[in-house]
Amino acid sequence: MDEKEIEEPNPVDPKEGEEIVEARSKWLKISSKVETKTVEPKANADGEAAPKETGDHDDLDNKDSSFDTNGSKNNFNDKIMALNEIFHDTCNKTYEDLMRNEDILHEQLMDLMATLDRVYLDSHVDNFIRQAQLLFTNLRDVQKAYTDIIKEHARKFFNKNIGNPSVPVQLKQILTTADTLSTALDISDRAQLDTIDDREETLLTGVRQWHAGLVESWRAEEVERHRRCVNEICHLIDINREELDDVVNDVALVDPDLLI
């Protein structure tokens, strides 16, 4: 290609170049002012800069959140203590009611046993004693009749066989005289009556002891039952109180927010 054919660029007008440079410099100044512009804090009456508001809002938010947390914990603990007090009051009332009912039941059972002893058992025992005494009285009458018959036959036998060598040896000792025979018969009668008296005394003493022992066993069993029930009531109330105190102590250490 020939050098003549290469076109040269149009020359730049000096005025246009100056206008472009001036416009560019103005644009740079404006943009730099916009970027470097900041909001200055307002000064108070003394000329001091006012504190930033963002920090105050953060502190208030933190205080509110702390207040809400502490308030919820205090409210939770207050409810726990109130329920604990209600439960203890209920335990006390239950204890008083159970003890009062147990005392009433004990007194009623003691009165019932006294009535049963006086109205039914005493009457049956007295009737038994009367019947036994009547029986032993009849035995004494029978013994008396038996002794009279023996004496009559002994006198007849003595009169017929006095000096008879065929009389057994056991009878010869009491057939020596009439007084000896009569004394022997009286001793035998007395021995039989003493045996009857001893049997009567043994029977009556036994039935009276049985009666007293039965009533005393009733009373002892009732007293033992009453004491056992009282101990069970006290043990039950104490266990419930201890379990509740343990629960309250455990719950007091728990964050209420974790229970939600």
Residue with tokens 């046993």: 113
Beta carbons of 189 and 151 less than 8 angstroms apart? no
Residue 43 above 70 pLDDT? no
DSSP-derived letter for residue 258 is G
Q: Which two tokens stand for residue 189?
A: 């009668």
pTM equals 0.55
DSSP for 102-142, please give it.
Answer: HHHHHHHHHHHHHHIIIIIIHHHHHHHHHHHHHHHHHHHHH
Listed ranges 7-11, 168-172, 213-217; the one with the highest mean pLDDT: 213-217
Q: How many CB atoms lie within 10 A of CB 175?
A: 20
Q: What angle do CA 227, 105, 209 make, to 5 degrees?
A: 70
In angstroms, rounded to a whole number, what is the distance separating the alpha carbons of residues 145 and 138? 10
Q: How confident is the model at residue 21 (pLDDT cuts 50, 70, 90)?
A: low
Show me where the domains of the chain are located.
Answer: 85-252
Residue 23 above 80 pLDDT? no
Mean pLDDT of the chain: 76
In angstroms, rounded to a whole number, what is the distance separating the alpha carbons of residues 144 and 147? 5
Percentage of residues in the chain with pLDDT exceeding 90? 26
| Half-sphere exposure in the Cβ direction for 48 (13 Å, CA) | 4
Q: What is the chain's Cα-based Rg?
A: 63
Residue 78 above 60 pLDDT? yes
**Three-class SS of residue 42?**
coil
